[in-house]
Amino acid sequence: MKPKVLVTRGDHDPDAIARLAKTCEVEVCPEPRAMTRSELLKGVVGKDALLILPHDKMDEELIQTAGPQLKVIGTHSVGYDHINQELMKNHGIKVGYTPGVLTNDVADLSVCLTLMTMRRVKEHVQSICNDTWKDANASPFWLVGSCLADKTIGIMGLGRIGLATAKRLKAFEPAKIIYTATKSKDEADGLAELVSFDQLLNQSDIIIITASFNESTKGIFNKDAFAKMKKTAFIVNTSRGGLINQPDLIQALKDGNLAGAGLDVMTPEPISPDHELVKMPNVFLTPHIASSTRETRLKMINLAVDNILAGLKGDPMPSRLC
């Protein structure tokens, strides 16, 4: 009997899903969207494996609903805060994820958001749309931005993505690049200097967040952290929205204690078009698209499929989380 696999979105690459279907009985969300929670709970019953995304919360209710035969989960993501790892271990469920393949794309967007935010691109685009470009003739300092040259760039978390981001930013000739991490990185020698979190806050002209989201980093950028930053500093986040206390960020921006923010991730997601962050001129937002290139999304879905197939066979997963 073929193992049963539930695919929680209906718009994955068909060739990747066809690979699953060669050896598995596959049920796919019938529409090009994510399953609702009620659809998910109905669909997991009797399944041996799940192919999920970050909006699919893997918790006790779902595991109990699925049944004891569920032994493999493959998430189409590098983030895993939607998965209760301890619960998976307790139930003997193997979980695979998709790190590594999206490193370059996320680093690219981290640099993009840095430039867009520091150069006030949102405000410049709005000046064209609102016919206020003509105001540029009134002052040589109209909507002037900030450059990266001779600035101190701080990176929170120098893993694969943080390191790739630092390498790209080196070309902009900053004064220095500093980073925080659990330990010094050999790969950073000659590129970036390890500092404490407080030093990162005090010294940086821009802070780029690429650290993992977990209990120790949850809300680490709060009012106390923002109070230690330069009033001319910017913050960019391409990790997870939960690393930033969002109300505190909004207040810091309102009070002029930060110059601006570039965010690919927020809480919640998606945020409302009426949300305060959307309306702020010095906040540049993108809708969680850091890994959103065709090339990377194909690599991610195929790695997720490989993880599931290996897990079902009892072979080592190419990229196992727990």
What percent of the chain is predicted at pLDDT more than 70?
100
Q: Which of 55, 91, 275, 288 is catalytic?
A: 288
Query: What is the pLDDT at residue 79?
Result: 86
Is residue 261 within 8 A of residue 253, CB to CB? The reply is: yes
- pLDDT of residue 214 exceeding 80, the answer is yes
Section 128-143 average pLDDT: 85
Query: What is the pLDDT at residue 58?
Result: 97
CA distance 176 to 53: 37
Residues of the chain within CATH 3.40.50.720 domain(s) are: 4-99+294-313, 103-285
> pLDDT tens digits, residue range 147-202?
999 999 999 999 999 999 999 999 999 999 999 998 899 999 999 999 999 999 99
What band does 82 get if pLDDT is binned at 50, 70 and 90? very high
Whose CA is closest to 149, among 122, 123, 176, 127? 176
- Domain 103-285: CATH superfamily, name plus number: NAD(P)-binding Rossmann-like Domain (3.40.50.720)
Section 7-29 average pLDDT: 96
- pLDDT of residue 23 exceeding 80, the answer is yes
> pLDDT tens digits, residue range 49-81?
999 999 999 999 999 999 999 999 999 998 898
Residues contacting residue 154 through CB under 8 Å, at least 6 positions apart: 177, 178, 179, 180, 195, 200, 201, 203, 204, 206, 207, 208
CATH architecture, range 4-99+294-313? 3-Layer(aba) Sandwich (3.40)
* Helix (H) / strand (E) containing 5: strand 4-7
Cis omega before residue 174 (within 30°)? no
Section 297-306 average pLDDT: 97
Tokens 């619960």, residue? 87
What is the value of pTM for the model shown? Answer: 0.89
Query: What is the pLDDT at residue 236?
Result: 98
Is residue 258 within 8 A of residue 226, CB to CB? The reply is: yes
Please say if 288 is a catalytic residue: yes
Query: What is the pLDDT at residue 128?
Result: 92
- pLDDT of residue 279 exceeding 80, the answer is yes
What band does 138 get if pLDDT is binned at 50, 70 and 90? confident
Which of the two residues, 140 and 312, has the higher pLDDT score? 312
> pLDDT tens digits, residue range 91-130?
999 999 999 899 999 999 999 999 999 999 999 999 999 9
What band does 312 get if pLDDT is binned at 50, 70 and 90? very high
Query: What is the pLDDT at residue 274?
Result: 96
Nearest 5°: phi and psi at 255?
A: -80, -5
Is residue 239 within 8 A of residue 113, CB to CB? The reply is: no
Query: What is the pLDDT at residue 140?
Result: 86
C-alpha distances (whole Å) from 242 to each of 152, 217, 218, 246, 269 are 25, 8, 6, 8, 11
Query: What is the pLDDT at residue 136?
Result: 75
